[in-house]
């Protein structure tokens, strides 16, 4: 595409394509931004619940990658896993002018007023991963789009594998995330959905650890002391699951207590492959944060009202459940296409794809 490619050309191509923000439009957006970024840089603000979490840090990495590609200068407001701190920072964000903003709230309802002020000021707002406000309110506020995973699916997928390995009976504990975080609420619901189907499984503990690995470790020590016959632990994210697993190993109970988490970060995928974790499920920080930047740049290019027509209000950032089981039926060795994952471990490839910020 030549340097003469203009915003008018981009708008014409985008609108002609129709049907939303298609891949061809994204490529046109990249080409357009490359031609104008030096003279027309965009200024954006982003916030995550807490950069101390590996998922959030990876999301920031993906956002900054796309920002560099699209000529966007991003100012980051770290929520520090504290709802009051994040609110203070979003209040500060709302005093400035941005081309777009994107945020992952640490708790539902805490950021509504400053977010509404930014929307009323004509700023495109992308909600990432967890709800700023209840869905109907989120739409009425004028949020451009909500990009999120299916938390119930991820939780149920991991819990189903834990239950399978437990043989449908025994004792299990749940280590939750932050109580006000709608992703954690949904993961907790997924846990309850599965446990409700197995009357021979006893939930001996169900407490939040606020995404804090030290709290998760302390909860694990406590539940093991009270339940030396514990069979499994489900944690709402991988950081807490790996912390719990370390405590279990330190107690010499690595062969007894099964552990599963959510997010499918690289260390957790490797832990599943090594038999340290039973399962994890991918909450794609790279997709959620990268797509948020793309949506924000698109809105800044075509205008907020047109972007609302082209970008769906809800965008699912899907990801698979990841288990250590390998389908290596020797009877199908000559027909590997009949086996799950061709009879191969998916771990190495998924870690590679995540390292490239595409998974």
Q: Is pLDDT at 19 greater than 60 in this prediction?
A: no
pLDDT tens-digit map of 199-222: 999 999 999 999 999 999 999 999
Instruction: State pLDDT tens for residues 84-115.
Output: 999 999 999 999 999 999 999 999 999 999 99
Residue spans of alpha helices (H) in 167-205: 182-195
Residue intervals of the chain classified under CATH 3.40.50.2300 are 7-149+285-316, 151-283
Spell 97-129 as b/e; 16+ CB within 10 A means b: ebbbbbbbbbbbebbbebbbebbeeebbbbbbb
Q: List pLDDT tens digits, range 231-248.
A: 999 999 999 999 999 999
Distance, CA of 357 to CA of 359 (rounded, Å) = 6
Percent of the chain with pLDDT over 70: 93
Cα-Cα-Cα-Cα dihedral sign, residues 276, 289, 214, 179? negative
**Strands 170-176 and 201-208: what pairing?**
parallel
Beta carbons within 8 Å of 318's beta carbon, 6+ residues apart: 149, 150, 284
Whole-structure pTM value: 0.93
Across the chain, what does the average pLDDT equal?
Answer: 94
Cβ–Cβ under 8 Å, residues 228 and 247: no
Residue 2: is its pLDDT beyond 50? no
Helix (H, G, I), strand (E, B) or coil at 200: coil
Secondary structure (3-state) at 178: coil
Q: Tell me, which fold does domain 7-149+285-316 have in CATH?
A: Rossmann fold (3.40.50)
Smallest Cα–Cα separation from 33: which of 74, 66, 76?
A: 66
CATH number of 151-283: 3.40.50.2300
Q: Please list the helix, strand and coil fractions of the chain in percent, rounded to the nearest 5, in that order.
A: 50, 15, 35
Given this model, what pLDDT does residue 22 score? 61
């Amino acid at each position: 595409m030549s340097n003469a490619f203009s915003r008018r050309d981009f708008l014409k191509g985008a609108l002609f394509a129709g049907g939303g923000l298609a891949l061809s439009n994204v490529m046109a957006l990249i080409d357009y931004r490359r031609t104008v970024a030096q003279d027309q840089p965009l200024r954006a603000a982003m916030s995550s619940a807490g950069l101390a979490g590996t998922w959030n840090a990876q999301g920031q990495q993906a956002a900054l990658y796309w920002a560099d590609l699209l000529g966007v200068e991003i100012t980051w407001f770290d929520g520090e896993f504290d709802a009051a701190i994040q609110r203070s920072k979003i209040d500060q964000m709302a005093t400035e002018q941005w081309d777009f903003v994107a945020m992952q709230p640490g708790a539902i309802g805490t950021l509504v007023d400053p977010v509404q002020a930014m929307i009323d000021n004509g700023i495109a707002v992308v909600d990432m991963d967890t709800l700023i406000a209840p869905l109907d309110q989120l739409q009425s506020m004028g949020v451009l789009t909500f990009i999120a995973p299916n938390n119930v699916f991820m939780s149920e997928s991991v819990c189903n594998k834990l239950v399978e390995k437990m043989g449908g009976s025994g004792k299990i504990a749940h280590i939750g995330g932050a109580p006000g975080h709608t992703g954690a609420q949904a993961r907790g619901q997924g846990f309850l959905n599965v446990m409700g189907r197995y009357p021979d499984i006893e939930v001996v503990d169900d407490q939040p650890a606020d995404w804090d690995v030290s709290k998760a470790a302390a909860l694990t020590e406590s539940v093991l002391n009270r339940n030396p016959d514990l069979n499994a632990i489900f944690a709402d994210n991988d950081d807490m699951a790996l912390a719990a697993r370390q405590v279990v190993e330190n107690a010499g109970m690595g062969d007894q207590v099964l552990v599963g988490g959510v997010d499918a970060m690289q260390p957790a995928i490797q832990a599943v492959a090594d038999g340290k974790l039973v399962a994890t499920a991918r909450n794609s920080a790279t997709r959620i944060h990268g797509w948020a930047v793309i949506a924000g740049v698109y809105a800044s290019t075509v205008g907020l009202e047109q972007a609302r027509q082209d970008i769906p209000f809800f965008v699912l950032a899907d990801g698979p459940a990841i288990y250590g089981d390998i389908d290596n039926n020797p009877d199908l060795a000559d027909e590997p296409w009949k086996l799950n994952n061709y009879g191969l471990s998916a771990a190495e490839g998924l870690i590679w794809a995540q390292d490239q910020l595409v998974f």
